[in-house]
């Protein structure tokens, strides 16, 4: 049996028998022993695609948990202790506790596997540039959209754009909401940070591992727009003082604001080279997912602390403005469309059709679904693959109407 057929059969068996954790552990051990892949990166991708494909059968199995466990195992210090230790046996020991202790890794800022198409390819069947999974949430008496967004590592905009009719402060208790914890990756494969202003989201690519982390952000308001361009992380500071721009010194009655609860930089700051801007925390978490800054990029306090630990001085940073993104998952084509928050495209629909041509996807997508996505602009990744019967089954049978436009995985 070929490597891929072997793995697919193992996944199907685990899912159909309702014993995913036990079966998957055994499966990976066998997979490792047979050395069916010389490149562990290929194993990441194939596992993610296969588990994603089978998600309808058994939704409680989180492929992103599995990928994280593999990653931790590969970089575990145990592997350097002795070469006589059987790798498959060690893998079992490492996998078991993690499967029991990671109830919801995707919602905790975890890393996701990805695979971009080869350069020059408009469509690549094995490409995997749609990460995460949509989820659902039942509103409680204590909930606000702001709290829900933060609890699921989303910016306020991601919930507000999806539910413009819902009162952000008093959402109706008992209402079932689709939580948009799925994203199309920006078309920028690099080893570093990509910030997409249009969707208010940051992506930290770990290219060697083909893994990516993503965080919601707050950006510059009108008149103080966050700039696009190429930068590097020039300095990193803990408990940073804020050197107030001259134009704001009268407003704040100071030239330097020391670290503390009134400092809008929060506890961590990473400056961008050749600019007055930076990536930092905040003393006002509800600013994440909003146009509120003087051009800098704000993260939730817990997110900047996490990102700060990974990013090194000199890390490349690319800031882009891409309200429309195309991605690929399990052989399907997705589009994710956001509002043109900085009003850069007078003919937004024309811009979308031009991108479709540039990606050489004309004739491969359901134009009705594509047009609907251009109209809604709510940030949901939508499966627009052209099917034989001109209809695409939604992947997630949530009760909310938002899920009706979401493609299957």
Statement to judge: residues 270 and 337 lie in one domain: no
Average pLDDT over residues 237-242: 95
Token pair 């909930």 in the structure block, residue: 143
Statement to judge: residues 277 and 334 lie in one domain: no
**Structural domain of 147:** 128-187+322-409
Number of domains in the chain: 3
Instruction: Give the integer Cα–Cα distance in Å for 187 and 180.
Output: 20
| Domain annotation covers residue 111 | no
Contacts of 74 (CB under 8 A, 6+ apart): 40
| Domain annotation covers residue 19 | yes
**pLDDT score, position 389:** 54
Instruction: Give the integer Cα–Cα distance in Å for 44 and 248.
Output: 48
Statement to judge: residues 383 and 326 lie in one domain: yes
Statement to judge: residues 305 and 243 lie in one domain: yes
Q: Is the pLDDT of residue 189 over 90?
A: no
Q: Is the pLDDT of residue 128 over 50?
A: yes
Highest-pLDDT range among 53-62, 83-92, 116-125, 148-157: 148-157
Single residue among 280, 312, 344 that ends a domain in this structure: 312
Contacts of 158 (CB under 8 A, 6+ apart): 149, 180, 200, 216, 289, 379
Statement to judge: residues 328 and 373 lie in one domain: yes
Q: Specify the CATH number for the domain of residue 296.
A: 2.40.440.10
Q: Is the pLDDT of residue 102 over 50?
A: no
Q: Return the active site residues.
A: 280, 296
Single residue among 103, 118, 153 that ends a domain in this structure: 103
Instruction: Give the integer Cα–Cα distance in Å for 111 and 114.
Output: 10
| Domain annotation covers residue 53 | yes
Statement to judge: residues 86 and 178 lie in one domain: no
**pLDDT score, position 86:** 46
């Amino acid at each position: 049996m070929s490597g891929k057929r072997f793995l697919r059969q193992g996944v199907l068996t685990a899912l159909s028998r309702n014993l995913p954790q036990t079966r998957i552990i055994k499966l990976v051990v066998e997979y490792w022993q047979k050395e069916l892949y010389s490149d562990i990166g290929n194993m990441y991708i194939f596992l993610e695609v296969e588990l994603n494909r089978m998600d309808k059968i058994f939704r409680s199995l989180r492929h992103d948990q599995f990928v994280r466990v593999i990653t931790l195992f590969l970089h575990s210090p145990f592997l350097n202790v002795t070469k006589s230790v059987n790798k498959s046996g060690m893998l079992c020991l490492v996998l078991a506790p993690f499967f029991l202790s990671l109830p919801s890794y995707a919602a905790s800022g975890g890393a996701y596997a990805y695979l971009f198409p080869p350069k020059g390819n408009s469509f690549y069947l094995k490409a995997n540039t749609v990460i995460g999974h949509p989820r659902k949430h039942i509103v409680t008496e204590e909930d606000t959209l702001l709290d829900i967004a933060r609890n699921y590592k989303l910016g306020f905009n991601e919930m507000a754009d999806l539910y413009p009719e819902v009162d952000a402060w008093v959402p109706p208790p008992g209402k079932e909401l689709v939580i948009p914890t799925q994203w199309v990756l920006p078309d920028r494969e690099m080893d570093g940070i990509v910030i997409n202003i249009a969707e208010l989201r940051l992506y930290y690519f770990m290219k060697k591992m083909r893994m990516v982390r993503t965080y919601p952000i707050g950006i510059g308001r009108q008149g103080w727009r966050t700039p696009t361009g190429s930068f590097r992380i020039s300095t990193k500071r803990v408990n940073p003082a804020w050197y107030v721009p001259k134009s704001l010194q009268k407003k704040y009655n100071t030239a330097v604001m020391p670290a503390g609860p009134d400092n809008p930089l929060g506890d961590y700051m990473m400056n961008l080279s050749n600019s007055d801007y930076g990536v930092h925390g905040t003393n006002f978490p509800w600013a994440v997912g909003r146009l509120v800054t003087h051009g800098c990029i704000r993260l939730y306090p817990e997110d900047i602390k996490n990102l700060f630990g990974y990013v090194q001085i000199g890390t490349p940073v690319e800031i882009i403005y891409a309200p429309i993104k195309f991605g690929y998952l399990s052989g399907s084509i997705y589009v994710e469309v956001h509002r043109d928050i900085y009003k850069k495209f007078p003919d937004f629909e024309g811009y979308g059709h031009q991108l479709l041509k540039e990606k050489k996807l004309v004739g491969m997508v359901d134009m009705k679904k594509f047009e609907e996505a251009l109209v809604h602009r709510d940030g949901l990744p939508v499966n627009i693959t052209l099917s034989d019967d001109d209809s695409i089954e939604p992947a997630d049978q949530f009760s909310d109407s938002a899920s009706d436009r979401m493609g299957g995985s």
